[in-house]
Chains A and B, each alone.
Chain A
Amino acid sequence: MYDFAYHRPATVAEAVKLLAADPEAKVISGGMSLIPVLKQRLARPSALIDLGAIPDLVGIAVSATTVTIRGRTTHAAVAASAEVKRAIPALAELASHIGDPQVRNRGTIGGSIAHHDPTADYPAAVLALGATVHTSRRRIAADDFFTGLFATALEPDEIVTAVEFPIPEKAAYVKFPNPASRYAMVGVFVAKGPMGVRVAVTGAGAHGVFRHAAMEEALAKSWSPEALEGITTPAADLNNDIHASREYRAHLVGVMAKRAVAKAG
């Protein structure tokens, strides 16, 4: 790892100020993706701005219609939250299967979506539930947030402060983990609720998480696994690597989607 300066601000405003003053600085939340990147010297930030001492960034609030998870809330906290389990059980379950227990004790929702790893689980939930991303300066709709591989709509000096999920009528997430790394080779989140019927696919897309229009249309007409019969996923824009060909991933999207609809009930 190359060395860097280290800042530990106590407020979001202070963190944004530090970030704005140094274009080469990076924000660190749980660090579960960033520290491995630094160890491999794939990045050389001038400074790390640690969100770890900002109490305002931690917590879960549930209203009659929404679940709001603050940015630095860990996966373990979401997975264990009785309120999240009650309001959006699919979200708590997704969080309970990210990485392993030690990763879940450190990794955070804000870090996960800001990083937008194409195999991450949370982006599928954010997109399928039609969540709103709250940042240090504005609110961004999920449809506008994920802009490409490891890319988001966040400005260089913008920090995710919370994610607000509308509570759906039905939702479920099913993934096919890579047998070795356990990252999602394909993960499909399906939801029916105030934002309509939405299907988001992670792990498969060459440009990161994406919505599946054909499946959404079919499920809007009939919410059942059978409704997805015969719907194919174009393989051209899917990942192709030693773990799975793009054609295999395209096939898995269909299988995971059907399982997710069956699970959502």
Chain B
Amino acid sequence: MPKVSLTVNGKPVTVEVENRTLLVEMLREQLRLTGTHVGCDTSQCGACVVHVNGASVKSCTILAVQCEGAEVLTIEGLASPDGTLHPMQEAFREYHALQCGFCTPGMVMSAIDLVQRNPQGLSDREIREGLEGNLCRCTGYHNIVRAIAAAQVVMHGKAKELPRAAE
């Protein structure tokens, strides 16, 4: 059986896969990292977004074998070992940017890539456009946009603390 060696959330792993195994299948079924979700399985909904070599990708539309030597980051790899959340995770919590939560891992991973690629800062409109590849079937977009707008301030070092949501 083919083997793929890569780094997942900072840890080197070697996994036996079929050539047709999707990255998301390997993550969920073999590495048991079930934080990455499969929503549509047709590369539309974005619930399966992870980072491969720093770029957000839909893990349902990339083969595990294509990730040989790659660095993969999933939602499980964001928080510090002591449990401190990534600023984007913290912002999603603070701004109640989730309802059922199914789309959340993909939203957070896409949002981090979006913010990192735009150090000049993003308007609400640009955030909405940047989320084109992520669907929230609860239609909870408004608070997701607010969370990302708040998180970018911390991620770009313009504030130490996350701006608090209004009471």
A residues contacting B by CB (< 8 A) are 1-6, 8, 28, 31-32, 35-36, 38-39, 48, 50, 52-53, 76, 80, 99-103, 105-106, 182
Contact = CB atoms under 8 A, between A and B. Distances in A.
B68 A101 contact: no
B154 interface: no
B132 A100 contact: yes
Contact of B55 (A32, A100, A105, A182): A105
Interface string B55-78: 111100111011010000000000
Contacts of B56: 101-102, 105
29 contacts: A2-B20, A4-B19, A4-B20, A6-B19, A8-B65, A31-B61, A36-B43, A36-B61, A38-B20, A39-B41, A39-B42, A48-B63, A50-B65, A80-B117, A100-B132, A100-B133, A101-B110, A101-B113, A101-B114, A101-B132, A102-B43, A102-B46, A102-B133, A103-B133, A105-B55, A105-B56, A105-B57, A106-B55, A106-B57
A2 B41 CA distance: 16
Interface string B19-47: 11000000000000000000001110010
Interface residues of B, number: 27
B2 interface: yes
Contacts of A48: 19, 63
A102 B41 contact: no
Contacts of B19: 3-6, 48
Contact of B63 (A31, A32, A53, A105): A31
Given A2-B20, A3-B18, A32-B61, A102 B66 contact: no
B56 to A, nearest CB: 5
A5 B19 CA distance: 7
A36 B22 CA distance: 11
B163 to A, nearest CB: 25
B110 A102 contact: yes
Nearest to A100: B133
Given A38-B20, A48-B19, A6 B62 contact: no
A3 B57 contact: no
Contact of B2 (A6, A100, A101): A6
Contact of B62 (A31, A53, A100, A101): A31
A3 B21 CA distance: 9
Contacts of A102: 43, 46, 49, 56-58, 110, 133
A54 to B, nearest CB: 13
A8 to B, nearest CB: 7
Interface string B92-117: 00000000000000000010011001
A261 B2 CA distance: 52
Contact of B66 (A3, A4, A50, A76): A50
B140 interface: no
A76 B130 CA distance: 12
B125 to A, nearest CB: 15
Contacts of A28: 66
A101 B20 contact: no
Given A31-B66, A32-B61, A1 B20 contact: yes
Among A2, A5, A52, A101: residue with most chain B CB under 10 A: A101
Interface in B110-137: 110, 113-114, 117, 130, 132-134
